[in-house]
């Protein structure tokens, strides 16, 4: 099993392996939980990567499943690294717990597909645009709080210039590029940066025009985060003001992937998108 740089992803890898080993041992969650005097819910949360697992408990499970030698050593190393701190944890409350999971997934993604209906995605925001967005959303936040949240957003963007940067495909509602966030200068710089980002081979940007009419994602924005092996499964991420929803069921992921493909087909081509952005910038003066 390859090591990864994200403890969130390591936890998912370990969870998938522990579930695979239990099934290979032909044991139910209830049987294993009874053997170690745990509640079935505890083991279920570990296997679904909802809870982390310490080294002692990992050893116990590996012994029950008859895993030893090099395979056990490799899994224990993943367990150790799964409990390390991610870079985002240094920012404390600026990264709420419900968002830490997404940042950890994003840090190891091989591709990200994003549909956004109201604002530029965080990975493509300028600092001034991000500050305006956070200022509008965090009504009771101090200037220091907002600055730390923006710092996190800027730190996340460094992933796009890594040697193993993820493929990023973004579809934006036309409303996103026409909504004035901050002032005209901020919006001018933001749209200019979007155009510049389109020159990066790993980034594809399309605008879904108003003329496309009704479409399947009118009531939601979402991301589909994909990973290279051995990380199991893709994740759909849906965010709301005080939390987030992570969908991992293959049927749910397939539904959102079909939805995204439909949006891509309805959207302008990247070249037409570029022309639209240039026109909006000219309108800003």
Closest to 49 in 3D by CA, of 22, 84, 19: 19
Query: Which are the contacts of 261, defined by CB distance < 8 A and separation ≥ 6?
Result: none
* Number of CB atoms found within 10 A of residue 281's CB: 19
Q: Which residues contact 196 (CB under 8 A, 6 or more apart)?
A: none
What pLDDT does residue 232 have?
66
CA distance linking residue 30 with residue 144, whole number of Å? 48
Q: Do 128 and 242 share a structural domain?
A: yes
Domain holding 166, by residue range, is 90-284
Q: Is residue 168 part of a domain?
A: yes
User: Of 22, 49, 82, which residue sits at a domain end?
Assistant: 82
Could you please report the per-residue DSSP string of 34-64? HHHT--HHHHHHHHTTSS---HHHHHHHHHH
In a domain, 1, yes or no: no
| pLDDT at site 37 | 92
Tokens in use for 270?
A: 């990247």
Q: Are residues 27 and 144 in the same domain?
A: no
pLDDT of residue 230: 66
Co-location of 71 and 164 in the same domain: no
The verdict on 105 and 190 lying in the same domain is: yes
Whether residue 41 lies inside any domain: the answer is yes
pTM for the complete prediction? 0.79
Cis peptide before 230 (omega within 30 of 0): yes
Q: What is the CATH number of the domain that holds 256?
A: 3.30.870
pLDDT value of residue 5: 58
Same domain for 29 and 168, yes or no, is no
pLDDT attached to residue 231: 67
Do 121 and 211 have their domain in common?
yes
Count Cβ atoms below 10 Å from residue 272 Cβ, excluding itself: 13
pLDDT of residue 208: 98
Average pLDDT per run of 10 along the chain, which is 285 residues long? 59 84 92 92 88 89 92 86 75 80 87 96 96 86 89 92 92 97 96 96 97 91 88 84 86 95 97 97 90
Asked whether residue 120 falls in the same domain as residue 161, the answer is yes
Structure tokens belonging to residue 186: 């901020």
In a domain, 240, yes or no: yes
Distance CA 250, CA 21 (A): 20
Q: Which residues contact 28 (CB under 8 A, 6 or more apart)?
A: none
Residue 115 in any domain: the answer is yes
Say yes or no: 102 and 166 in one domain. yes
Count of domains in the chain?
A: 2
Give, as one character, the DSSP assignment of residue 200: S
């Amino acid at each position: 099993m390859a090591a990864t740089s994200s403890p969130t992803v390591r936890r998912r890898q370990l969870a998938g392996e522990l579930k695979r080993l239990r099934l290979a041992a032909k044991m139910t969650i209830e049987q294993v939980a009874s053997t170690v005097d745990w509640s079935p819910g505890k083991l279920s949360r570990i296997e679904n990567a909802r809870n982390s697992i310490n080294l002692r408990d990992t050893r116990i499970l590996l012994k029950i499943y008859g895993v030893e030698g090099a395979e056990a050593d490799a899994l224990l190393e993943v367990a150790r690294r799964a409990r390390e701190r991610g870079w985002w944890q240094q920012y404390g409350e600026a990264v709420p717990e419900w968002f830490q999971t997404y940042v950890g997934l994003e840090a190891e993604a091989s591709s990200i597909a994003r549909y956004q209906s109201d604002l530029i995605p965080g990975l493509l925001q300028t600092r001034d645009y991000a500050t305006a967005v956070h200022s509008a959303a965090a009504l009771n936040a101090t200037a220091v709080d907002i600055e730390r949240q923006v710092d996190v957003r800027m730190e996340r963007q460094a992933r796009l210039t890594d040697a193993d940067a993820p493929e990023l495909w973004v579809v934006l509602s036309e409303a996103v590029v026409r909504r004035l966030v901050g002032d005209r200068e901020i919006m001018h710089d933001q749209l200019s940066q979007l155009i510049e980002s389109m020159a990066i081979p790993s980034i594809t940007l399309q605008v879904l025009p108003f003329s496309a009419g009704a479409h399947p994602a009118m009531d939601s924005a979402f991301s589909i985060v994909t990973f290279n092996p051995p990380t199991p499964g893709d994740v759909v991420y849906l965010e709301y003001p005080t939390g987030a929803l992570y969908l991992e069921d293959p049927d749910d992921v397939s539904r959102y992937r079909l939805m995204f493909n439909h949006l891509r087909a309805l959207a302008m081509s990247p070249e037409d998108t570029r022309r639209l952005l240039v026109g909006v910038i000219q309108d800003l003066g």
